[in-house]
Amino acid sequence: METSEKVRKLILQMQSNELTEHHIYSRIAARMKDGENRKILQTIADDEKRHSEVWKSYTRTEAKVQWGKVRWLSFLSRLLGFSFVLKKMEGGEELAQKNYSIVEKEVPQVRAIIDDENRHEHELLQLLDEERLQYVGSMVLGLSDALVELSGTLAGLTFALQNTRLTALSGLITGISATLSMASSEYLSAKNEGRKDALKSCTYTGTAYVLTVVCMILPYLLLPNKDYMIALAIMLCTVVLIILGFTYYISVAKEVPFGKRFGEMAGISLGVAALSFVIGILVKKFLGIDI
């Protein structure tokens, strides 16, 4: 069937996208150890290849694979997990839907074919099971506790001590102790519930906690002693960025609302930090301690 030049360009772009996604799914599937996940992803990869063949029947042209995108998303799948990358790809279908609306005016039968295949793809994605997402609760526990507890501790110590090195030392001791305490509590809690993954659960909790501690204390270790207020400002910005990044990751990977969750975590962490900073001022003033 002959199409206008505008529609042909759109179809060629969609053909390229489908072929590119075929290679992305195939690469991720090739790294899978889990048989069921690998089978699902390879099925989706085959569907994408079939989509591109549908478009090729109209363009009669070989589409170019976007290899830069393939390599980037394959790297992200290693770093952030395949669920995040695949859900992100699925979430980018809005532009494709607009293109479908334009294309179906000249090629109406294609819309029904693509809709059926995309529905099948969405259903398959819901069957994927990634281990790290099973322990999101453990990661949230470690992350949120570290953010709230340590941001408050560092804010209070910043004014009380007015020395970046002393604040870092105190924060590091507090952070390491709290990491061990939180991880052991998570282990005992999981063990008491009869869960066989108690050790793995506490590992996720402890890892999230200690990484958060390191990021928050780093400004105090890198800046001169007298720049304690700058270190505090950087630490608070780090808190917001950590919350922003983690909340975005969870909102995409688990398809949950972003705004409300981000507002709650940021509000609690910064609120505790502000209150602790005031407490630090009062303690220093009324106890008359000067370091």
Of 129, 153, 172, the position where a domain reaches its end is 129
**Domain enclosing residue 248, as ranges:** 132-287
Token pair, residue 177, equals 């102790």
Of 69, 94, 129, the position where a domain reaches its end is 129
Task: Identify whether residues 87 and 120 lie together within a single domain.
Answer: yes
Task: Identify whether residues 245 and 140 lie together within a single domain.
Answer: yes
Task: Identify whether residues 94 and 136 lie together within a single domain.
Answer: no
Task: Identify whether residues 161 and 21 lie together within a single domain.
Answer: no
Q: How does pLDDT run across 65-103, given as a tens digit for each residue?
A: 999 999 998 888 887 777 778 777 776 555 566 666 677
pLDDT at residue number 283: 67
**What type of residue is 181?**
S
Task: Identify whether residues 62 and 177 lie together within a single domain.
Answer: no
pLDDT at residue number 109: 63
Task: Identify whether residues 171 and 193 lie together within a single domain.
Answer: yes
Task: Identify whether residues 74 and 142 lie together within a single domain.
Answer: no
Task: Identify whether residues 106 and 136 lie together within a single domain.
Answer: no
In Å, what is the CA distance from 28 to each residue of 74, 81, 125, 223? Answer: 7, 10, 13, 41
Comparing C-alpha atoms, which of 152, 217, 211 is closest to residue 182?
211
* CATH at residue 42: 1.20.1260
Compute how many other C-beta atoms are within 10 angstroms of the C-beta atom of residue 160.
23
**What type of residue is 127?**
L
Question: Is 143 strand, coil or helix?
Answer: helix
In degrees, rounded to 5, the angle at the alpha carbon of residue 131 between the alpha carbons of residues 127 and 134 is 85
Query: Which of these ranges, 83-92, 150-159, 175-184, has the smallest mean pLDDT?
Result: 83-92
In Å, what is the CA distance from 7 to each residue of 60, 65, 213, 282? Answer: 13, 20, 53, 69
Cβ atoms of 180 and 220 closer than 8 Å: no
Task: Identify whether residues 139 and 276 lie together within a single domain.
Answer: yes
Task: Identify whether residues 142 and 272 lie together within a single domain.
Answer: yes
Of 76, 99, 129, the position where a domain reaches its end is 129
Task: Identify whether residues 79 and 137 lie together within a single domain.
Answer: no
Task: Identify whether residues 153 and 101 lie together within a single domain.
Answer: no
Cβ atoms of 134 and 204 closer than 8 Å: no
Q: How does pLDDT run across 248-278, given as a tens digit for each residue?
A: 877 776 666 777 777 777 777 777 767 766 7
Q: What is the 3-state secondary structure (H, E, C) of 73-140?
A: HHHHHHHHCHHHHHHHHHHCHHHHHHHHHHHCCCCHHHHHHHHHHHHHHHHHHCCCCCHHHHCHHHHH
pLDDT at residue number 146: 74
Say which DSSP state 289 is in: -
Number of domains making up the chain: 2
